[in-house]
Amino acid sequence: MPDDILPCDADLIARLSSMLPPAALLTGAAIDPRYQEDRRARFSAPPRLVIRPSSTAELSAALAACNDARQRLVIQGGRTGLSGAHRIQPAEAVLSLERMTGLDAPDPESRTIVAGSGVPLQRVQDAADGANLMFGVDIGSRGTATVGGIIATNAGGNRVIRYGMTRAQVAGLEVVLADGSVLSCMRGLEKDNSGYDLKQLFVGSEGTLGVVTRALLTLHAKPQFETNALLAMPSVEAAMALLQGLRSRLGETLSAFEFMTEDIYHGAASEAGVSDPLTTAGPIYVLAEIQSQQGQEAATDPFMESLSDAIENGLVLDAVIANSMREFLSLWEIRDSCADYVRRQEGVANGDISVPVGRIPDFLDESRRRLLKIDPASRFLTFGHLADGNLHYVFCTTRKEEAVACLMNLVSDFSGSISAEHGIGLDKKHWLPLARSAAEIETMKRLKIALDPNNILNSGRIFDP
């Protein structure tokens, strides 16, 4: 009987049953197949059992029991991760945060909100919106991705240029360590240098060092006005020049600068059911957004002037500026549909990579040249967050393995990152040495052993112990 279908240790089940309410523990036939869901459609093993605590106390008790029994756990939020960290490995039990869904009202004075780790991102966004505030993290999977998941992966998304990654918006965390001890770092003071800032350890460590149970999230003033524009452009160089121009003219008002190559643009527009709003085609498309605390005119005038100048200078071939909330959302709908369109293509290879912003044009040239050499029929569907140097380097090829290896090595040559915002999980750990030195990986392992000596939390994610 292979290890992956061995029943869970009966003593552990008995201990968990005695400490948890029935809804918090699923075994056998009661386990829904949804825990095996995976956006990359890779094999996810059946879990030995599913623990679904609804409080920090339950979670702490369950973790202590699993730690004593050396039961490995895979931690699951919304299962929207793209590197397989939530994918169940043989002999693992699931620790699902789906019932940690407490959400306080936003505090308008400190501009913060306390959210359970199982709360979907969109609920946080909506709660902030209802208090005339906003949460600065936004990703396409907002309806399903959870607070715990965006923290564990230090999610980036569409507005990093303005608000930073998730890390910049975590003012406090409550975390349970593998042995069940609870770290409450929830005071959220603007300034606090009383010992190590422990919460930083858990942001972006993909559930390997501890389990986030609650977070104190920083909110921002809701923009008084926002609009966006979709632009057809003659080249990546033109997009880079426009980005520089908008940044120096608009400063922090520029809140997104998203990039699509022509095939993905047309594919995503048809996926979204939006007819192309532009009359002139270009090899490159950009979706630029501004968010302002000033009135419509004060915000729009410099944006419009910048775009007019760019059209005059030949940087922009064609532009459409949203004139209504409906148009604003419809332009975002195109961008948000890129991932759905990609998911339906054949032979897709994927790299969530970043390179220093100034080197993007060279990187795109050189990578295309090399990938076409491997497979002259390669089809490029690259899109991403140009202002952050972050490309979702998607392409279709029949020689995937060789092509991705070529891409990742080139990223390394360009001093870039092999995972800009999706994390390493299971799927990218064999590439980690391209991004991090032996000394860095050794240090990660030392931290893992210090906080999870029995290696029960998301074992084998990021690196092998």
Question: Footprint of a copy of itself on residues 350-389 (CB under 8 A)?
Answer: 354-358, 385, 387-389
**DSSP annotation string for 176-201:** E-TTS-EEEE----S---SS--THHH
Interface region with a copy of itself, contact rule CB under 8 A, candidates 133-141, 343-351, 363-371, 414-422: 414-422
Span 196-255, contacts to a copy of itself by CB under 8 A: 196-198, 200-201, 203-205, 209, 221, 251-252
| Interacting residues with a copy of itself between 56 and 75 (CB under 8 A) | none
141 near a copy of itself (CB under 8 A): no
> Whole-number minimum distance, CB 396 to a copy of itself, in Å?
24
- Please report how close the Cβ of residue 10 comes to a copy of itself at its closest, in angstroms: 31
Closest CA to 144 of 168, 172, 121, 115: 121
440 binds a copy of itself (CB under 8 A): yes
Does position 53 interact with a copy of itself (CB under 8 A)? The reply is no
Single residue of 18, 33, 191, 312 touching a copy of itself by CB under 8 A: 191
- List beta partners, residue 175: 183, 212
Smaller CB separation from a copy of itself, 378 or 419: 419
The Cα 441–Cα 434 span in angstroms is 11
Give the integer Cα–Cα distance in Å for 189 and 192.
6
Q: Residue from 91, 183, 241, 372 that binds a copy of itself (CB under 8 A)? A: 183
Helices (H), 120-227: 121-130, 147-152, 160-163, 199-202
Footprint (CB under 8 A) of a copy of itself, residues 390-409: 390
Query: Residue ranges of the alpha helices (H) in 251-399?
Result: 262-272, 296-312, 325-336, 338-343, 360-374
Q: Is 187 in the site for a copy of itself (CB under 8 A)?
A: yes
Helix (H) or strand (E) holding 12: helix 10-19
The C-alpha torsion from 348 through 354 and 357 to 358, rounded to 10°, is -80
The residue within the footprint of a copy of itself, chosen from 293, 300, 409, 455 (CB under 8 A), is: 293
From the CB of 45, what's the least distance to a copy of itself, in Å? 24
Of the candidates 358, 415, 428, the one whose C-alpha atom is nearest the C-alpha of residue 42 is 428
Check binding of 146 to a copy of itself (CB under 8 A). Answer: no
Q: Is the dihedral of CA 435, 176, 97, 162 positive or negative?
A: negative
Q: Please, which residue, 349 or 420, has the CB nearer to a copy of itself?
A: 420
Rule CB under 8 A: say whether 446 interacts with a copy of itself. Answer: yes
Return the C-alpha torsion angle 118, 124, 127, 131, nearest 10.
Answer: 140
Whole-number minimum distance, CB 418 to a copy of itself, in Å?
5
Element (H, E) at 172: strand 170-176
Q: Does 193 bind a copy of itself (CB under 8 A)?
A: yes
Please say which residue, 19 or 168, places its beta carbon nearer to a copy of itself.
Answer: 168
Alpha-carbon gap, residue 397 to 189, rounded angstroms = 50
Q: Rule CB under 8 A: is residue 167 a binding residue for a copy of itself?
A: yes
**Lookup: tokens for 321:** 């500026």
In the list 418, 426, 456, 457, the residue contacting a copy of itself (rule: CB under 8 A) is 418
Contact call for residue 435 and a copy of itself (CB under 8 A): yes
Q: How many helices (H) and strands (E) does the chain have?
A: 15, 18
Task: Kindly indicate which of the ranges 17-25, 136-144, 162-170, 273-281 contains the residues binding a copy of itself, using the contact rule CB under 8 A.
Answer: 162-170
Question: What does the alpha-carbon distance between residue 139 and residue 217 come to, in Å, rounded to a whole number?
Answer: 16
CB of 14 to a copy of itself, least distance (A): 27
Residue with smaller CB distance to a copy of itself, 54 or 417? 417
Q: How far is the CB of 361 from a copy of itself (least distance, A)?
A: 13
Question: Is residue 430 at the binding interface for a copy of itself, with CB under 8 A as the rule?
Answer: no
Nearer to a copy of itself, 47 or 156 (CB): 156
Strand 93-96 vs strand 133-134: parallel, antiparallel, or unpaired?
A: unpaired
With vertex at residue 283, the alpha carbon angle to CA 287 and CA 324, rounded to the nearest 5 degrees, is 25
The residue to which tokens 């080249």 are assigned: 235
Retrieve residue 179's tokens: 């042995």
Q: Cβ of residue 386: shortest distance to a copy of itself, in angstroms?
A: 11
Q: Is 454 in the site for a copy of itself (CB under 8 A)?
A: no
The C-alpha angle 3, 211, 121, rounded to 5 degrees, equals 115
Name which of 331 and 420 has its Cβ closer to a copy of itself: 420
Residue labelled with tokens 């409906």: 326
The footprint of a copy of itself on this chain (CB under 8 A) covers a number of residues equal to 74
Residue 302-341 contact track with a copy of itself, rule CB under 8 A, x = bound:
----------------------------------------
- Which of 373, 430, 443, 465 touches a copy of itself (CB under 8 A)? 443
Nearer Cβ to a copy of itself (198/348): 198
